[in-house]
Structure 1
């Protein structure tokens, strides 16, 4: 599954809050209240890069990491991938719709109406 673990989510929060790309050491220093090894944070960032949640650029010997998109964009992309890899995407959507809140259903209705109006 393309979801995030607790530490991955904490690292992403650090990156989303940053004004610029960060090196591993900078991410480590910003993970407040956690005692982690440098290599642990490096591995998490490598995993997030592999999952396409972060982009990295090499500067000298170090990589600088930044989010591959906003929180909302990346979550939506993950949901899209989950549907695309499901054997029964229609069943997944049915389960989601049945579990959706009134607010979520209102947003879905609005989008469906907008798409209908464009036709």
Structure 2
């Protein structure tokens, strides 16, 4: 995810996949192929809280964490940021539209219809 470090992205992925808030231990137990230290994940989650990516609630001696926005909302924000820094956002959007699949074109058209209907 744009704007996140590799381990931050892994933690956010775990939070997005969960229907419930997660503790540091929960995230650690869900990682496969990695074995970072508890304190490393704790620091990452604290950093994500400071950056506004997650909210936390104290539960006993630990915090539970929940994403402040969905994966889709975060991705849309990243696309907007990339467009804003591209130098030619209209050109980028046109290039994307011209190269989009039929399914992507239908989704874009539906989104534009919904936007104008508000």
TM-score (norm 1): 0.71
> Taking structure 1 as reference, are residues 68 and 47 closer, same or farther at Cα in structure 2, changes over 3 Å only?
same
Residue 31 (structure 2) aligns with: 31
Find the aligned partners of 1:87 and 1:58 in 2 and give their Cα distance.
Answer: 44
The answer on whether the counterparts of 1:12 and 1:67 sit within 8 Å (CA) in structure 2 is yes
Question: How far did 1:66 drift?
Answer: 0.8
User: What pairs up with 1:1-119 in 2 under 5 angstroms?
Assistant: 2-59=2-59, 61-116=61-116, 118=117
Q: Which moved more, 1:61-70 or 1:44-53?
A: 44-53
Find the aligned partners of 2:98 and 2:51 in 1 and give their Cα distance.
Answer: 29
TM-score (norm 2): 0.71
SS, match of residue 97 in structure 2 = helix
Question: How far did 1:34 drift?
Answer: 1.7
Aligned-residue RMSD, C-alpha? 2.9
> Taking structure 1 as reference, are residues 18 and 106 closer, same or farther at Cα in structure 2, changes over 3 Å only?
closer
Find the aligned partners of 2:55 and 2:81 in 1 and give their Cα distance.
Answer: 18
The gaps in structure 2 that reach 5 residues or longer are none
Find the aligned partners of 1:102 and 1:23 in 2 and give their Cα distance.
Answer: 41
Question: How far did 1:68 drift?
Answer: 1.5
Question: How far did 1:15 drift?
Answer: 1.4
Find the aligned partners of 1:52 and 1:85 in 2 and give their Cα distance.
Answer: 22
SS, match of residue 100 in structure 1 = coil
Moved over 6 A (4+): none
The gaps in structure 1 that reach 5 residues or longer are none
